[in-house]
């Protein structure tokens, strides 16, 4: 009985170690996949930004640029769905949305510019609420507020634009008090 109990204990311990090693491998793989998705989204956003700028520089018809932007957005939405809704992925999505808003501004689609800026602002407001001390979230939230202000100004909603600008400025002033070394 003693030998059987000892053998069972060793076997159980071995199984526990194997399970722990498998869990660690799965966590490492998930972290690698998240990092790959993040890097891919960043690189793809940079490519889209460059393409829009080049289209503008070489007078490519806006309709062609809009089609490219819409396809890129669908691709990004599909990619984002494969990731877990981690704060990092939501932050990257908000960054992408702000870049898309700016790209839509370049091609003159202020409706989509406003939609993307508002989506980014909502994501960032939630992130900033979850982690109020994260300066990256705060700075990007201020950028989203400014982007919304630009859209509102273009549409002639000057009071709303001013309020949006002031929201962004308030965040920047608060951050400057905490860390005056950041420009």
pLDDT at residue 183, as a whole number: 56
Contact by Cβ (8 Å): 77, 112:
no
pLDDT digits (tens), the chain, 183 positions: 888 888 888 989 999 999 999 999 998 988 888 788 888 888 888 888 898 888 888 888 888 888 888 888 888 887 777 777 888 888 888 988 898 888 888 888 889 899 999 999 999 999 999 998 899 899 999 999 999 999 999 999 999 999 999 999 999 999 888 877 765
Global pTM?
0.75
pLDDT at residue 179, as a whole number: 79
pLDDT at residue 40, as a whole number: 82
Sequence-distant contacts of 100-106: CB under 8 A, at least 24 apart? 100/48, 100/69, 100/73, 101/147, 101/151, 102/49, 102/147, 103/48, 103/49, 103/52, 103/69, 104/69, 105/150, 105/151, 106/52, 106/53, 106/56
d(CA 6, CA 9): 5
pLDDT at residue 47, as a whole number: 87
pLDDT at residue 34, as a whole number: 79
């Amino acid at each position: 009985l003693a030998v059987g109990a000892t053998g069972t204990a060793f076997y159980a311990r071995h199984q526990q170690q194997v399970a722990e090693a498998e869990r660690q491998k799965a966590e490492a793989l998930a972290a690698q996949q998240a990092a790959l998705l993040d890097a891919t989204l960043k690189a793809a956003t940079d490519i889209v930004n460059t393409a829009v700028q080049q289209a503008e520089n070489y007078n490519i018809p806006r309709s062609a640029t809009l089609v490219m932007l819409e396809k890129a957005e669908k691709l990004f939405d599909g990619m984002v769905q494969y990731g877990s809704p981690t704060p990092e992925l939501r932050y990257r999505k908000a960054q992408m949305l702000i870049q898309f808003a700016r790209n839509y501004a370049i091609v003159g689609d202020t409706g989509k510019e406003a939609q993307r800026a508002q989506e980014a602002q909502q994501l960032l407001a939630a992130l900033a609420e979850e982690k109020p001390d994260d300066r990256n979230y705060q700075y990007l939230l201020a950028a989203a507020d400014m982007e919304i202000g630009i859209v509102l100004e273009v549409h002639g909603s000057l009071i709303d634009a001013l309020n949006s600008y002031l929201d962004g400025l308030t965040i920047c002033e608060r951050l400057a008090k905490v860390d005056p070394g950041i420009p």
